[in-house]
Structure formats: C-alpha cells, structure tokens
Amino acid sequence: MRAVNDTANRSVARFSKHRTERDSMSAALTPLAVHPAAFLAPLAIWLLMAALAVANGIVRETVIVPRIGEYRGHVLSTAVLVCLILAVSWTYFALTTTTYTRTELLLVGVGWTVLTVGFEFLVGHLEGTPVSVTLGQYDVTAGQVWIAVPLTLLAAPLLFGTVFSS
C-alpha cells in the first residue's frame, strides 16, 4: 500500500512540475492572450464615441459649415472629433481596472476602426450616397482629412492602454 502511495505522490509531483512549467510558459505568452470579455467595455466606449461623432456631425452641418464653409467645416469638425476620441480613450484607459494585453489593445483599436468605417458606409448606403463619394472622404490627395479619425481610433487604445498599464 505504501508503494502505491509513493508512486501516486511522485506522479502528482511530476504533474505539478509540468503544470508549473506550462503556467510559466503561458505567462510568458500573456501579451498574445486574448480574453473576449475584455471587449465589452470598449464596445460601450465605441457607442459613446459614435454618439459624439453623430452630435459632432449635426453641429458641423447646422452651425459650422454655414459660418465657415464646407471644407473648413470638415477640417474643423474632424479635428474636434479626433480630440473627442482622444479624450474619451484617455479617460477610459485611465479609469479602467481591466488589464489589457498588447494584443487586446490592438484588437480594440481594430474593432473601433472597423465599426466606424462600417458605420460610415452603412449610413452612406442608407442615405443613397454612392460608395465612390464615401471612399472619397478618405482621399488625402484631394485634401480630405477624415482619415485622421479611423487612424486615431486604431492607435488610441494601444497608446493609452500601454501608458496606463505601466
């Protein structure tokens, strides 16, 4: 009976050693880990930013453009939206208790960007705007600055998430 217990104890010790090695390897790979629950709060943050973007667009069309013109209104409105995105992102990552891996931060940025561009094309489609016109908003060579918005959405989580995690 004692021999059986000794054999069992050695097996448990070997399993524990293997588990500890595996856990330490897993910890070394943590920056690549992705936890789906980590994306719920950023989705809510994106909804807030989307509401701010819609409000920004309404102010642009009803107040800014009539006063300073289409192009200057577009540039000013884009700059305001970029500042709003940065402020909301900074606030979220400064206050959140969630710890994000670099991979998760990058995926949050990609998610925000894809949702925004998708929303932009969906609204354009519902309004009957040709895809070529919506694509034209991303044409920097034509003086369009809208591309700053998706680029900010892409970079902000990685920037602020990294800053506030250290």
Contact by Cβ (8 Å): 83, 52: no
Q: Where are the domains positioned within the chain?
A: 1-30, 33-165
Predicted local confidence at residue 21, as pLDDT: 39
Q: Could you tell me the pTM of the whole model?
A: 0.78
Q: Identify the CA nearest to 49 among candidates 103, 113, 127, 3.
A: 113
Cβ-based neighbours of 47, under 8 Å, separated by 6 or more: none
In Å, what is the CA distance from 11 to each residue of 14, 16, 17, 139, 150? 5, 8, 10, 65, 54
Mean pLDDT of the chain: 85
Predicted local confidence at residue 58, as pLDDT: 97
pLDDT grade for 162, boundaries at 50, 70 and 90: very high
Predicted local confidence at residue 74, as pLDDT: 96
Angle formed at CA 33 by CA 13 and CA 95, multiple of 5 degrees: 115
* Amino acid in the structure at residue 8: A
What DSSP designation does 147 have?
A: T
134 pLDDT more than 60: yes
Q: Which residue has the higher pLDDT, 4 or 95?
A: 95
Measured CA to CA, the distance from residue 145 to residue 123 in angstroms comes to 19
Predicted local confidence at residue 30, as pLDDT: 54
Q: Identify the CA nearest to 101 among candidates 5, 26, 8, 1.
A: 26
Predicted local confidence at residue 53, as pLDDT: 97
Tokens representing 60 are: 């642009």
Q: Which residue has the higher pLDDT, 36 or 161?
A: 161
For the segment 20-37, the average pLDDT, to the nearest whole number, is 53
Residue with tokens 């980590």: 38
Instruction: Express as a percent the part of the chain with pLDDT over 90.
Output: 75
| Tens of pLDDT, residues 108-127 | 999 999 999 999 999 999 99
For the segment 4-25, the average pLDDT, to the nearest whole number, is 42
| Tens of pLDDT, residues 136-146 | 999 999 999 99
Q: Identify the CA nearest to 134 among candidates 151, 154, 115, 117.
A: 117
